Amino acid sequence: MALGDRINRLIRSNITDWKHQRKDYQRELEQTLNEFKQSVQNALSSQEVLLRDYQNVQQQVQELVESAKLALQQQNEPLARELLTRKQSYSKQADELKHRLDELIPTVTLLQQQLAALESERDLFKANLASANLEQDLGALPDLDFAEIDAELELLRSRLHRL
């Protein structure tokens, strides 16, 4: 087999391998992106649930305060004390929910930023892949005269043997 044919096959093989690697990378990137989107959605859902729970507990605290005021107006001190004791319990629960919410919000924001960066990377990759158009690159390879290259190599070999 002529050396030129081997070089041609090697070039085409390398281009084909490169093409497959890019497709594998694209598939992997899409899968990672989908998994990351799901994680962000889960974090957002958790944030919404925490916020809703916090608001409900805050509302219960307000209702207990109002009920305690009403009980005091009706001069029912034992009921007012009981309501204020329950209010303290709900206030602790609200503080815990608020603390968890305050920890979760920056995490969700960071995840959303990372998702945007990953989507941007994917879009850039797709644009590069589209512009590469490997089929045209393969067709655009110059037609090398491998017989001429082989003749030149043989000439060089014979000169080397004479030396």
CATH of the domain at 108: 1.10.287
pLDDT at residue 132 is higher than 70: no
pLDDT confidence tier of residue 93, bands split at 50, 70 and 90 = very high
Whether residue 68 lies inside any domain: the answer is yes
What token pair was written down for 16? 């084909």
Average pLDDT, stretch 14-26? 71
Domain range for 40: 32-128
The pLDDT assigned to 134 comes to 53
Number of H helices, E strands in the chain: 4, 0
Among left, alpha and beta (phi > 0; psi -120 to 50; other), residue 141 is beta
pLDDT confidence tier of residue 146, bands split at 50, 70 and 90 = low
The pLDDT assigned to 78 comes to 93
Name the range with the highest mean pLDDT among 1-5, 37-41, 64-68: 64-68
Whether residue 20 lies inside any domain: the answer is no
What token pair was written down for 26? 């694209």
∠ CA 151-136-29, rounded to 5°: 120
Whether residue 155 lies inside any domain: the answer is no
What token pair was written down for 111? 């995840």
134, 15 contact by CB (below 8 A): yes
Whether residue 14 lies inside any domain: the answer is no
138, 13 contact by CB (below 8 A): no
Number of domains in the chain: 1
pTM for the predicted model, two decimal places: 0.62
The pLDDT assigned to 117 comes to 86
